[in-house]
C-alpha cells in the first residue's frame, strides 16, 4: 500500500510505501483507539447518570426528613391540644361549681356547650369576576390565608397561657366564694325551730314569774311539744345538759367567739363534742326548767355578751 502525503509548504507530495504487516498494525492501532474512546464515553455517561441518581436520592431523603419534621410538629400540637382540652374540662367543672355556689341556675351558664360564633364571609377577590376587572383590596382589608404550622403552634401556646390564667383567676374566686359560704354557714342565721312563732323578744320585759321589769337575753319561740329544734349554724356542741334555770339545754360554739344557746328542751339528741351542721336536729321543744309552757328559748352570745338574735336571723344566707 502506498500512502501519499501532500504538504502545502513543500509544494510537492511524498510517497510512503506500506507492506501488509504495517497496514494491519495501523488498523489495529486505530481500532484500539476507537475502542478506548467509546469506553471512556460510556464511563463518563455512567458517572453522569450516577450523579443524577445521587441527587435524586438526596432530594428524596430531604423530602422524607421534611415529612418527619412535619409529623413530629403535628404530633406535638395534638398533644398540646389534648392537654388544653383536659384543662378546659377542669375549668368547666370549676365554673359549674362556682355557679351553683353563687346561686345561679344551671341553664344560665351552659359550660358544656361551645359559645356561638359567626360573621360575614370574606368577599375580597383578586381575580376577574363577572362584574368586571379585578378588585384590589382596600386599605386595612385583610386577605384570608392559611396558617402555617409555626403560626398554629404559636396560637396554641398563647391559648394555653390564657387557659392557665383563667384557671388561676377562677381558683381565686372559688376560694373567696368558699370562704364567704363558710362564714355564712357558721353565722347563726337559720331559724332554730321548725314552724315556731315569736312569743317573747330580746330586751327588757315583764318577767312572767316575778312581774318585775327584767332583761331577757334571748328570744322565745312558741311551738308544740316535740317540735324539732335545729342548729342555727354549723359548729361544735360544748354543752348538752340539764340546767336549773334553762332545763335541758344545748350550747354550740360556731367559732369567732360566737355561741348559740337552746333551752327548755324536752329531749336532747346531741352530746358534748358532736360536730353539727346548720339545720341538724339537736333537741325537741319542751317546757323543762323555769318555763311557763312549751317553747324554745334561743340566745346568741358573742364573747360572752348576749346579742339580739333577730339581727342574725334576718341575715340572708
Cell of 110: 351552659
pLDDT, position 203: 92
CA-CA distance, 279 to 228, in Å (whole number)?
10
Write the secondary structure of the chain as one string of H (helix), E (strand) and C (coil): CEEEEECCCCCCEEEEECCHHHHHHHHHHHHHHHHHHHHHHHHHHHHHHHHHHHHHHHHHHHHHHHHHHHHHHHHHHHHHHHHHHHHHHHHHHHHHHHHHHHCCCHHHCCCCCCCCCCCCCCCCCCCCECCECCCCCCCCCCCCCCCCHHHHHHHHHHHHHHHHHHHHHHHHHHHHHHHHHHHHHCCCCCCCECCCEEEECCEEEECCCCCCEEEECCEEEECCCCCEEECCCCEEEEEEEEECCCEEEEEEEEECCEEEEEEEEEEECCCCCCEECCCCEEEEEECCCCCCCCEEEEEEEECCEEECHHHHHCCCC
CA-CA distance, 2 to 24, in Å (whole number)?
14
Q: How many CA atoms lie within 13 A of 76 on its CB side?
A: 13
CATH class of the structural domain 197-313:
mainly beta
CA-CA distance, 226 to 295, in Å (whole number)?
10
Cell of 236: 361544735
pLDDT tens column, 184-221: 778 898 999 988 888 899 999 988 888 899 999 999 99
Residue 109 has pLDDT above 90, yes or no: no
Q: How far is CA 36 from CA 22, 39, 50, 129, in A?
A: 21, 5, 21, 66
Query: Average pLDDT over the chain, rounded to whole?
Result: 76
Contact, 317 vs 187, CB < 8 A?
yes
Per-position b or e across 171-201, b if 16+ CB within 10 A of its CB: eeeeeeeeeeeeebbbbbbbebbeebeeebe
Q: How far is CA 237 from CA 50, 186, 282, 310, in A?
A: 95, 13, 9, 22
CA-CA distance, 218 to 296, in Å (whole number)?
10
Overall average pLDDT of the 71-92 stretch: 74
pLDDT, position 17: 55
CA-CA distance, 269 to 159, in Å (whole number)?
55
Question: Cell 368547666 maps to which residue?
Answer: 92
Q: How confident is the model at residue 83 (pLDDT cuts 50, 70, 90)?
A: confident
Region of poorest pLDDT, from 39-43, 49-53, 96-100, 246-250: 49-53
* Nearest of 194, 303, 199 to residue 254 by alpha carbon: 303
Sign of the alpha-carbon dihedral angle for 228, 232, 233, 236: negative
Q: Where are the domains of the chain?
A: 2-65, 197-313
pTM score above 0.75? no
Question: Cell 364567704 maps to which residue?
Answer: 180
Cell of 122: 370574606
pLDDT tens column, 216-271: 999 999 999 999 999 999 999 999 999 999 999 999 999 889 999 999 999 999 99
pLDDT, position 279: 93
- More confident of the two residues 134 and 87: 87
Amino acid at each position: 500500500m502506498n500512502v501519499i502525503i501532500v504538504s502545502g509548504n513543500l509544494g510537492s507530495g511524498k510517497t510512503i510505501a506500506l507492506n501488509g504487516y504495517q497496514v494491519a498494525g495501523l488498523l489495529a492501532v486505530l481500532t484500539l483507539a476507537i475502542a478506548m474512546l467509546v469506553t471512556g464515553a460510556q464511563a463518563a455517561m455512567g458517572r453522569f447518570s450516577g450523579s443524577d441518581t445521587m441527587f435524586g436520592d438526596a432530594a428524596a431523603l430531604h423530602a422524607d426528613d421534611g415529612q418527619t419534621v412535619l409529623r413530629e410538629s403535628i404530633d406535638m400540637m395534638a398533644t398540646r391540644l389534648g392537654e388544653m382540652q383536659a384543662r378546659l374540662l377542669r375549668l368547666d367543672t370549676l365554673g359549674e361549681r362556682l355557679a351553683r355556689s353563687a346561686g345561679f341556675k344551671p341553664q344560665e351558664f351552659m359550660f358544656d356547650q361551645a359559645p356561638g360564633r359567626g360573621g360575614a364571609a370574606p368577599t375580597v377577590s383578586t381575580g376577574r369576576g363577572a362584574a368586571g376587572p379585578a378588585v384590589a383590596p382596600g386599605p386595612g382589608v385583610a386577605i384570608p390565608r392559611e396558617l402555617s404550622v409555626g403560626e398554629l403552634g404559636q396560637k396554641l401556646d398563647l391559648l394555653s397561657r390564657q387557659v392557665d390564667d383563667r384557671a388561676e383567676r377562677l381558683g381565686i374566686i372559688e376560694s373567696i366564694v368558699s370562704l364567704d359560704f363558710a362564714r355564712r354557714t357558721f353565722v347563726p342565721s337559720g331559724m332554730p325551730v321548725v314552724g315556731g312563732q315569736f312569743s317573747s323578744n330580746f330586751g327588757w320585759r315583764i318577767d312572767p314569774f316575778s312581774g318585775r321589769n327584767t332583761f331577757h337575753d334571748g328570744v322565745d319561740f312558741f311551738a308544740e311539744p316535740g317540735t324539732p329544734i335545729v342548729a342555727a349554724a354549723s359548729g361544735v356542741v360544748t354543752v348538752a345538759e340539764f340546767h336549773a334555770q334553762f332545763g335541758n339545754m344545748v350550747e354550740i360554739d360556731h367559732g369567732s367567739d360566737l355561741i348559740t344557746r337552746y333551752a327548755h328542751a324536752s329531749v336532747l339528741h346531741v352530746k358534748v363534742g358532736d360536730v353539727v351542721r346548720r339545720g341538724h336536729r339537736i333537741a325537741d321543744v319542751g317546757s323543762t326548767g323555769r318555763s311557763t309552757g312549751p317553747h324554745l328559748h334561743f340566745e346568741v352570745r358573742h364573747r360572752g355578751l348576749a346579742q339580739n338574735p333577730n339581727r342574725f336571723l334576718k341575715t340572708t344566707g
